[in-house]
Amino acid sequence: MTEAEAARYHINPFDLTKVWPHKDYPRIPVGVLELNRNPVNYHAEVEQAAFSPANVVPGLGFSPDKMLQGRLFAYHDAQLYRVGTNHQYLPVNAARCPVHHHQRDGAMSFNGNFGSAHNYDPSTIAGAPTQNPAYREPPLPLPAEPADRYDHRVDEDYYSQAGALYRLIPAAEKNRLTTNIARALNGIPAHIIERQLQHFAKADPDYGRQVADKVRSLQK
């Protein structure tokens, strides 16, 4: 059933109390699941198996079926509790082809954990991972407007509340805050320090100036 057909079909195709008439939409075989042996180790191959309907090829979307929408969250959440945050690396769950993503760390990480590779996005460091918008989940068509991921960067107001908080705290606390930040920045590459100082200055000019002066005094 296409999205256009779903919009004009005589029943709501996503109503859990309804069945799609097979005369209109006959079942389409998509493959055969062959069980050809018993598990060698039941715990490793069965107890640790983790299935989730959210595991799809990048670029595919999900229908507004209420049970599916609930299971997209609930199944993965259950696996995190039952098997652990790195359950997808276990042999019974691991992809059979190379996978490129940002997930690392967490309990029981055992596969090298991406070594010393950088894992920040956005980043100015060469070789750092970046998102490929070609593989994002497409918006979900709804009558009013498509449901899509919320872009938290839409207002670009990153500094007003940080500056307001800085101006509220007493002078002694400002001194301790900027001193601790300067000590943490001391010794890291200069271009990173300069980028960070710009953030403090955008929140409040005095904030940026205090940190900058103390970093410079530590470097003498």
Structural domains of the chain in order of their starting residue, each with its CATH number: 1-25+32-114 (2.40.180.10), 160-219 (no CATH)
Query: Is residue 128 pLDDT above 80, yes or no?
Result: no
Q: Taking residues 43-48, what's their average pLDDT?
A: 94
Query: Is residue 56 pLDDT above 90, yes or no?
Result: no
User: What is the identity of the amino acid at 31?
Assistant: G
Q: Which two tokens stand for residue 209?
A: 């100036």
Query: Is residue 171 pLDDT above 90, yes or no?
Result: yes
Helices 205-219 and 190-203 cross at an angle (nearest 10°) of: 150
Q: Taking residues 151-174, what's their average pLDDT?
A: 90
Query: Is residue 41 pLDDT above 90, yes or no?
Result: yes
Report, in angstroms and rounded to the nearest whole number, the Rg of the chain calculated over CA atoms.
Answer: 26
Tell me phi and psi for residue 147, to 5 degrees: -85, 125
Q: Taking residues 42-59, what's their average pLDDT?
A: 90
Burial of 207 (0-12, 13-18, 19+ CB in 10 A): buried
Q: What is the pLDDT of residues 83-99, one digit of tens each?
A: 999 999 999 999 888 87
